[in-house]
Structure formats: structure tokens, C-alpha cells
A and B are shown apart, each in its own frame.
Chain A
């Protein structure tokens, strides 16, 4: 569904040349939930913007369903970290969710249906008439998720969406995303700097190196599909996986991939296409 091939992004400006992303190649299958983790400042956001068609890569390409991304694709939605700056404060919740649908030229009846359905599935039916700033941070991010769902994307990009909410809200939102993913079968690429979150949510975790970024490792998360905050997080396998990811990230910071004894039985690296 999502193919990233040899992606490279170099920022040039005012005499400085920053190579944010060196060479990234990975794929995300249709209906898969893949988490990207990496040390802070490793170009996760740059990568996501390239995938979302908001930035033009310096080299390489991004394909969605076999079509090359040259601008924001119509079957992709993005949830940003800064929910407060992503929702329009002059619109009520309902209008925020509906606006992208108007651009899609859907009929009013269809729009109403999609908005109601999306708000119901994030548990915000009652807040439709409120302004975003009247809601808590967690609720605002739910609105942003509802807006993305109503858009009916095939691919959903999430850029550290829960980095700015408190721990309890975050746990709820993680379960919400996993629940929605299982219900709707959307392909999700979830960027985070939180190792536990990546292992808890993902079917697969891509560990990025520090900048200039390459894929350090791809790790299959062989936890059961039914996960919950209480049991999954204390499962021995969860601990093993998160320890491994943690070690890899530490190694990435130092710049040397570890030849870890776990790597062999933990990783299942799909060949880059």
C-alpha cells in the first residue's frame, strides 16, 4: 500500500546544508499498523511530511497504492501532534470535521452521515456543537482523529499525536487508535518517540537511526492482536521487545548498530522492494 524507496531529504538554506534523511526504504502493507521510532531529532517529521506530500523529497520516491506521491494524496489523512494548531478555532467541532468533506464535493446528506459516524466512533457525539478550545487536549485530538476518519483515507499518518497529552489520556487514545484500526482496516503509519507506545500499538516497529536517517531495523511485534493497557504492558514478551527497541535506539544515538543476540529471533525483516 505504502512504498518508500530511497527517500532522501536535504534542507538547504542560508549557507547551511542539513541532510535530514539520507536513505530510507520501507513498505507498509494494506491494513497494517506500523510504528516509526527513532532518537529525537532523527527526521521523523521530515519523513512523514514527505510521505504526506507536504514536502518534496530531494531524491527517492513515495508510492501509495502504486501511485507516486507528488502532493497531498486524496486518500490520505494526517493527524498532527499540535492538535491546538491543527483544528480551526473559528469553527465548531462539526464544521472542522466536515470541512475536508466539502472539498471532496460530497453531498450534504453524505457529509452529515460521515461526520456523525466519525464523531461517534471517537466518543464525541455530544461535543459536535462546541468549539475546539472549549474541549480538553485529549478531546481536541479526538476531534482531529474524527476529522481524519471522516475523510475515509486508505492511509492514515499520525505524527506523534499523543506527545502533548497527559499519560492517562494517552493510554485511552492509544486504545482508541488500535480499536479504530482493527474495526476499519485502515493502513496506519504512526510516528512516535515513545518506545512503549510503538511496541504497544504496532504490528511492526521501524527503528530509525539518528540523523542523517536510515532504517536501523525493522521489528515484527509478535504480541497478540488483542492488547490492553493492563496486561499487554506487563507481558514478558512486551518487556523483551521494548528492551530491544530501547537498545537499538541507544545504539542509533551512538551511531553503531548493535549486533544484539536477540536480533536473530526477534526480527523479521521484510526485504525492501
Chain B
């Protein structure tokens, strides 16, 4: 009973602020005659008309697929390169200034450049997403790999755990909390770049649709697109959290244990 009460209380705290904001929006916009600022009532009633099954299939699905592809490429490349750079001091010394420079370049400005050699199709969009997502993953992996505990490292060596086994059983698990921190940052960057890449030379996708609505003065429709984007980001972050909790269960457990004892 006590447990149930606690769950309900937590749920209440979680939904309280969003509910408050929605109510505030609802009443603030109610009766609005401003064409750019339609009442929330109108936006919500437009939502089911705009986001039909067909739209979801032809605009949302391609967006999500591009995001997944770009994100996956960035994750693989970021972790692989980050592991190499983090493992060797020499490589790190050579790469670090370049990485800092590349990271500082805002990914959206690369869109016109990437268009030049990747065309205007899906490849371009995937490359844009990957090229923006890769940095936080790469840099966090480098830090995580570098920070592998010296005692663990010596333990592994003294038991003959070297090469691939060392990578698999020591380096990657030890770096995984940092890697996940990078993946988390990359996810929000990925969503932004997904939309931006679709605003340039696209024929479908969420970003494209929102811009189309805006140009056609279908303002409530545009707002529904923005709401849908927010929802998509929210769902992805919940999924990410779930995966992270499972993969890093040991990390959170160990951290809680050391907090309790100190």
C-alpha cells in the first residue's frame, strides 16, 4: 500500500508541471484571434486531421529512419575512434587540437558543404546527422577510455587479460558510463539535425512538412508538427533512459552503494 502511494505521488509530481503548462497555454490562447498564435483548442483538434496514418508513414517514418541511421553511424564511429584515441597517448596528442576545432564547428553550417558531395537525398541527411552526433560520443569515449582505473588495468595485465579481451571486459565496460553520457547528448543534437537537414532540399520528413505548413500559412498545422516533434523527442529520451538503466545497472548500483557507505 505504502509503495503504491509513493508511486502515485511520484507520478503526480511528474505530470504536475506539464499539466499546469498545458492548462496555462489553453487559457492564455483561448479566444485568440492572432493568426500566428491559434488557440490550443484549434491546434489539438487539427492534430488528428494532419497526422493521419499516411502522413506518419510518409513523413515521420523517413525522419525517424534517417535519425536512426545517422545516430547509429555516429555511435559506431565515435566509440571506435574514441577507443583508439583514448588508448594511445601519442594518437591523442596528435588528434586533440583537430578534434577541438571540428567540434567547435556548428554542424548545421556543414549542410551546404555536405550537399555538395553527398547530394540532396537521404545520404546527405544521414551524413549531416552523423557528423553532428559523432563529437559528443567521440570525446566522451576518449575521456572514459583514458580514465580506466590503473589498479583494474594492472589486475587485467597480471591475469593475462590483454588485447580484444581487455577491450571487451575492461576498457569498454569501464568507459560505458561516459559513453552513455555522450550518446545522450548526441540524441538531442541528432533530433535538431534531423529537422534542419530536412529544411534544406527535401521532399518529405518532419522538418520539411513543418516548413511547408508555415509557407502555406497553415499555422495550426505547423503547430501540430512542433508538438509532434516535442513528443518524439520525449519518447526517444524515455527509451534511452530505459536502455541506459539496463546497461548501466551495475554503475548506478555501485554509486548508490558508495554513497550509502560514505
Contact = CB atoms under 8 A, between A and B. Distances in A.
Interface of A: 49, 52-54, 72, 74, 76-78, 80, 82, 85-86, 88-91, 99-100, 102-104, 131, 133-134, 147, 151
Contact of B257 (A52, A53, A133): A133
B159 A151 contact: yes
A91 B170 CA distance: 10
Interface residues of B, number: 22
A89 B258 CA distance: 12
A99 B158 contact: no
A134 B151 contact: no
A49 B154 CA distance: 9
B254 interface: yes
A21 B55 CA distance: 75
A88 B159 contact: no
Contacts of A52: 158
B162 to A, nearest CB: 8
Interface in B219-260: 250-251, 253-254, 257-258
Contacts of A90: 173-174, 176, 250-251
Interface centre among B152, B154, B176, B253 (most CB of A within 10 A): B154
B154 A80 contact: yes
Nearest to A76: B158
A5 B253 CA distance: 46
Nearest to A102: B165
A103 B160 contact: yes
Contacts of A88: 152, 169-170, 173
B100 interface: no
A131 B251 CA distance: 11
Contacts of B160: 72, 74, 100, 103-104
A133 B159 contact: no
B149 interface: yes
A100 B162 CA distance: 10
A103 B173 CA distance: 18
A99 B173 contact: no
Interface string B37-68: 00000000000000000000000000000000
9 contacts: A54-B157, A80-B154, A86-B155, A88-B152, A88-B173, A90-B174, A90-B250, A99-B169, A151-B159
A116 to B, nearest CB: 19
Contacts of A54: 154, 157-158
B151 A103 contact: no
A91 B253 CA distance: 12
A89 B151 contact: no
Interface centre among B158, B169, B258 (most CB of A within 10 A): B158
Contacts of A147: 159
A99 B156 CA distance: 9
A100 B165 CA distance: 10
B151 A99 contact: no
A76 B169 CA distance: 21
Interface in B53-103: none
A77 B158 contact: yes
Contact of A86 (B151, B165, B253, B254): B151
B253 A134 contact: yes
A159 to B, nearest CB: 10
B13 to A, nearest CB: 29
A90 to B, nearest CB: 4
A80 B250 contact: no
Contact of A89 (B155, B158, B159, B250): B250
